[in-house]
């Protein structure tokens, strides 16, 4: 029911952990399943140089966090804001429909971390 890519990212997640002094941190949760995803971004000159995540959630949430961090590294903030849960799911070779909301969490976590970065930047 899960693609090989999903299983691979679940068993060897990329970029799991935390970035000290991150430029943007976003935390989102899903009220129904109770899972939480926290995303940390390091941003230099509008480019995402590092991304890490902490996900307290299901396997699909971990796999989508892992893939999402890989997809936004090296991207500009604007490009990363355009990341959709659909693109993450496609990169993972699909997800069962009952697990679609897990990928939505990844899209929202990236957006929340970028919004945090942008609001801090404005405050300077
Ligand atoms: Fe909640 Fe997957 S079941 S994020």
Closest Cα to residue 25, out of 56, 50, 60, 59?
50
Write out the chain's pLDDT in tens, 124 residues: 899 999 999 999 999 999 999 999 999 999 999 999 999 999 999 999 999 999 999 999 999 999 999 999 999 999 999 999 999 999 999 999 999 999 999 999 999 999 999 999 888 7
The number of folded domains in the chain is 1
- Within a domain: 71: yes
- Within a domain: 98: yes
| pTM of the full structure | 0.96
List the domain range (segments joined by +) for residue 89.
Answer: 4-119
- Within a domain: 40: yes
* Cα 77 to averaged position of ligand 1 atoms, centre (Å): 26
* Catalytic (active site) residue 33: yes
Query: What integer pLDDT is reported at residue 1 of this predicted model?
Result: 87
d(CA 102, CA 95) in angstroms, rounded, equals 9
- Within a domain: 80: yes
Active-site residue (options: 22, 80, 102, 109): 102
Give the CATH number, domain containing residue 15: 3.90.1010.10
Mutate to test the pocket of ligand 1, among 2, 10, 28, 30 (most ligand atoms within 8 A of CB): 30
CA torsion through residues 37, 107, 17, 19, sign: negative
- Within a domain: 124: no
């Amino acid at each position: 029911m899960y693609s090989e890519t999903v299983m691979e990212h679940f068993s060897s997640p990329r970029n799991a952990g935390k970035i000290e002094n991150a430029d943007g941190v976003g935390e989102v949760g899903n009220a129904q399943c109770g899972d939480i995803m926290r995303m940390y971004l390091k941003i230099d000159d509008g480019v995402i140089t590092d991304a890490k995540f902490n996900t307290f959630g299901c396997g699909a949430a971990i796999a989508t966090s892992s893939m999402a961090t890989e997809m936004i590294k090296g991207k500009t903030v604007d490009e990363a804001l355009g990341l959709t849960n659909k693109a993450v799911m496609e990169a993972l070779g699909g997800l069962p429909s009952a697990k679609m909301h897990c990928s939505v969490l990844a899209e929202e976590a990236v957006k929340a971390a970028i919004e945090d970065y942008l609001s801090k930047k404005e405050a300077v």
